[in-house]
Amino acid sequence: MIAGIDLGTTNSLIGVMDSGFPVLLAGENGSRLTPSVVHFPEGDAPPLVGASALRMRALDPARTVSSVKRYIGRRFGELDAAERSAPFAVERARDGGILIGPRRLSPEQVSAILLGKLRSDAECTLGIEMRRAVITVPAYFNDARRQATKEAGRLAGFDVERILNEPTAAALAHGLDRGGERRRVAVFDLGGGTFDISILELHDGVFQVVSTNGDTRLGGDDIDAALVSFLHSEWSVPHDDALLLARIREAAIGAKHRLSDSQDTVLRLPFASGTSREMALDRAVLENLARPILARARPCCLRALSDAGLAAGEIDDLLLVGGATRMPMVREFARDLFGVDPLTDSNPDESVALGAVLQGGILSGQVTNALLLDVTPLSLGIETFGGLMNVLIPRNTTIPVKAGELFTNAVSGQSAMQIHVLQGERELARDNWALGRFDLPFVPAPKGGARVGVQFEIDADGILRVLARDTATGLEKVVEMKSAVDVSDEAVERMISESVEHAFEDVEARRFAETRQKSADLLGAVRTALTKADALLEPGERDRIEVLAARVGAALAAEDAPALAAANLALDESTRDLAARLLDQAMETALKRRGIL
């Protein structure tokens, strides 16, 4: 069983497949949303996590870490002033990373505490051990942030089977992977603290993130802050009454939530700082406060569309994700911007987690009718003799995948092999993209004597690991390349159309490269034979062979492929007798040495 986890900035969720359906599990406080907050008490008492930690935030902000997702996988130097001046400590680690909170933990460690809580709550509910998980991340997370999230999962005792993009998870939860035709999907995600807009393209059951944009400081919390400051001025609250301010904030959030379902509500603060306060609030007041905040999402959406090369009317499906999209005005805003009705979802803050659960179901084989697959967009291989591309994993292979091949040295006495890792569809190495290169040393051997096994492994996150091993000594190197899957559609299309356009020349170039390699092998063998076999040569034979060898040399210099192939053939035939005599002689010597002759 594989758990699906939405590790959110504000709230986190966990679920599993149950009798073929994805279900989210309630935590100890009975809610499926666990606040992503960790409180570290004085001393070394175990941390409080979730709702109980959230309650401590107003009382003991310095010991309560929230929004750890903003920090995961980043360097201290990348943080802006607001991120450095959180209510809890944020410091530079010795290696340039980040340490946060009163116990100076890394963001991975704090995230692991959150994940550990989700895990133990789920285990309590299900009564079984949870070891495997799919965890979601925003589409814009770079490799370092994905790896750090994976590491947090590992620290929490999970085998992280996949790091899944949040918008892809949302699309999966809406069953959009079932549509056969090409669809363009906009995922509008407004949570507590961040706004993300992603444009996806669905193609034969495969989702690709075409563009992303957003604002890491825009969300429902800003609407809360605007409402709180409105209440302050209405009620003339003194600014130093921290407890009262915290209660007003709580009451404001409650009122905001109620106004998503009704036109008006009453905000009540009984017995706060000596007096009871009450105010009637209608939806229009809240919307006036929220309008300028929401307007900040507009340029992000327009940029995402333009990066995807699309106009608003070209979006087929609009998905709303994140708790703040429960507000009717947010729904209208998104609909007006993208010109399409959003797919309605009663729990927009749950769809990412449901998608993660479904992905877990697909990976464990519990969900079989889903089409969501990740494939290699372009072929992957290494450069071999003569500057050719040798493909190990062809394009459109479903990942994860592993493939390998054995290579030998082209030159005698060579003491290392260069592994030049390539991506692309062209026959010649130089026309493909270089993903990286490294050397594998081996014991010097005659030509063809060394054997180096090269293995490519692409994990479910699209990360390519190249392993090269000298089979004689067992010496090996493993090098991680950048993501092999993360290539823009446009670049893939360009590569493929170039390979079609140059198909004839490419086949010619490959043929010539192979023939040239054959010539090099042949000339080397002839040279050795002529020096070794002086006594075996018949009159005039050396001259005849030398003339044919010179013809190969001339065709090589002229880069004349047909002439070179003919010259190779003639030289090969002219030395066949000599080769047979050499073999006989070698046999005779060997038998004599063993006393048989």
Binding to ligand AMP (CB under 6 A) within 304-343 occurs at: 322-324, 326-327
Binding residues with ligand AMP: total (CB under 6 A) = 18
Comparing CB distances to ligand AMP, the nearer of 203 and 296 is 296
DSSP conformation class of 472: T
Comparing CB distances to ligand AMP, the nearer of 196 and 201 is 196
Of 197-205, 254-262, 276-284, 455-463, which part binds ligand AMP (CB under 6 A)? 254-262
Closest by CA position to 185, among listed 65, 81, 318: 318
Comparing CB distances to ligand AMP, the nearer of 200 and 327 is 327
Burial of 344 (0-12, 13-18, 19+ CB in 10 A): exposed
Q: Shortest distance, CB of residue 69 to ligand AMP, whole angstroms?
A: 10
CA pair distance 251, 246, nearest whole angstrom: 9
Structural tokens at position 261: 């379902």
Q: Shortest distance, CB of residue 27 to ligand AMP, whole angstroms?
A: 14
CA atoms within 13 A on the CB side of 311: 1
Question: Phi/psi class of residue 175: alpha, beta or left (left: φ > 0; alpha: ψ in -120 to 50)?
Answer: left
Q: Shortest distance, CB of residue 13 to ligand AMP, whole angstroms?
A: 9
Of 4-12, 38-46, 393-401, 584-592, which part binds ligand AMP (CB under 6 A)? 4-12
Is 215 assigned a catalytic role? no
Closest by CA position to 168, among listed 194, 196, 126: 196
Interior/surface letters 182-219, b for 16+ CB within 10 angstroms, e for the rest: ebbbbbbbbbbbbbbbbbbbbeeebbbbbbbbbbbebb
DSSP conformation class of 185: E
DSSP conformation class of 428: B
Residue pair 197/294 in contact (Cβ under 8 Å)? The answer is no
- Interacting residue with ligand AMP among 5, 11, 110, 377 (CB under 6 A): 11
Comparing CB distances to ligand AMP, the nearer of 48 and 227 is 227
Structural tokens at position 45: 């008492």
Binding to ligand AMP (CB under 6 A) within 151-210 occurs at: 191-192
Of 3-11, 274-282, 486-494, 564-572, which part binds ligand AMP (CB under 6 A)? 3-11
Q: How many CB atoms lie within 10 A of CB 369?
A: 7
Active-site residue identified among 6, 221, 459, 506: 6
Of 201-209, 219-227, 304-312, 379-387, which part binds ligand AMP (CB under 6 A)? 219-227
Give 98's strand partners. Answer: 92
- Interacting residue with ligand AMP among 257, 335, 511, 542 (CB under 6 A): 257
Structural tokens at position 24: 């989210």
Angle 107-126/143-155 helices, nearest 10 degrees? Answer: 50
Q: Shortest distance, CB of residue 257 to ligand AMP, whole angstroms?
A: 4
Q: Shortest distance, CB of residue 466 to ligand AMP, whole angstroms?
A: 39
Farthest CA pair distance, the chain: 122
Is residue 10 near ligand AMP by the rule CB under 6 A? yes
Of 5-13, 274-282, 287-295, 533-541, which part binds ligand AMP (CB under 6 A)? 5-13
Is residue 8 near ligand AMP by the rule CB under 6 A? yes
Comparing CB distances to ligand AMP, the nearer of 347 and 408 is 347
- Interacting residue with ligand AMP among 161, 201, 221, 345 (CB under 6 A): 221
- Interacting residue with ligand AMP among 260, 397, 408, 574 (CB under 6 A): 260
Q: Shortest distance, CB of residue 54 to ligand AMP, whole angstroms?
A: 12
Comparing CB distances to ligand AMP, the nearer of 161 and 189 is 189
Q: Dump the DSSP string for 327-381.
A: SHHHHHHHHHHHTSPEEP-S-TTTHHHHHHHHHHHHHTTS--S-----B-SS-EE
Q: What is the 3-state secondary structure (H, E, C) of 300-326?
A: HHHHHHHHCCCCHHHCCEEEEECHHHH
Place of tokens 């009798």: 19
DSSP conformation class of 103: T
Structural tokens at position 211: 């563009």
Is 196 assigned a catalytic role? no
CA pair distance 54, 66, nearest whole angstrom: 8
Residue pair 467/459 in contact (Cβ under 8 Å)? The answer is no
Residue whose C-beta lies closest to ligand AMP:
220
Active-site residue identified among 121, 161, 177, 189: 189
Comparing CB distances to ligand AMP, the nearer of 132 and 249 is 249
Three-state DSSP state, 432:
coil
Active-site residue identified among 151, 161, 166, 383: 166
Q: Shortest distance, CB of residue 104 to ligand AMP, whole angstroms?
A: 27
CA pair distance 110, 586, nearest whole angstrom: 71
Of 44-52, 215-223, 234-242, 572-580, which part binds ligand AMP (CB under 6 A)? 215-223
Comparing CB distances to ligand AMP, the nearer of 54 and 308 is 54
Comparing CB distances to ligand AMP, the nearer of 52 and 260 is 260
Place of tokens 């947010």: 330
Is residue 220 near ligand AMP by the rule CB under 6 A? yes
Q: How many CB atoms lie within 10 A of CB 136?
A: 28
Q: Shortest distance, CB of residue 248 to ligand AMP, whole angstroms?
A: 15
Is 166 assigned a catalytic role? yes
Of 7-15, 120-128, 543-551, 556-564, which part binds ligand AMP (CB under 6 A)? 7-15
- Interacting residue with ligand AMP among 161, 196, 317, 349 (CB under 6 A): 349
Comparing CB distances to ligand AMP, the nearer of 11 and 359 is 11
- Interacting residue with ligand AMP among 253, 375, 525, 561 (CB under 6 A): 253
Structural tokens at position 356: 């993660």
Angle 503-532/541-558 helices, nearest 10 degrees? Answer: 150
Type of residue at 17: M
Is residue 256 near ligand AMP by the rule CB under 6 A? yes
Q: Shortest distance, CB of residue 53 to ligand AMP, whole angstroms?
A: 15
Q: Shortest distance, CB of residue 394 to ligand AMP, whole angstroms?
A: 40
Structural tokens at position 169: 């998870």
Residue pair 400/379 in contact (Cβ under 8 Å)? The answer is no
Q: Are strands 451-458 and 401-408 parallel, antiparallel or unpaired?
A: antiparallel
- Binding site residues, ligand AMP, CB under 6 A: 8, 10-11, 191-192, 219-221, 253, 256-257, 260, 322-324, 326-327, 349
Catalytic (active-site) positions? 6, 69, 166, 189
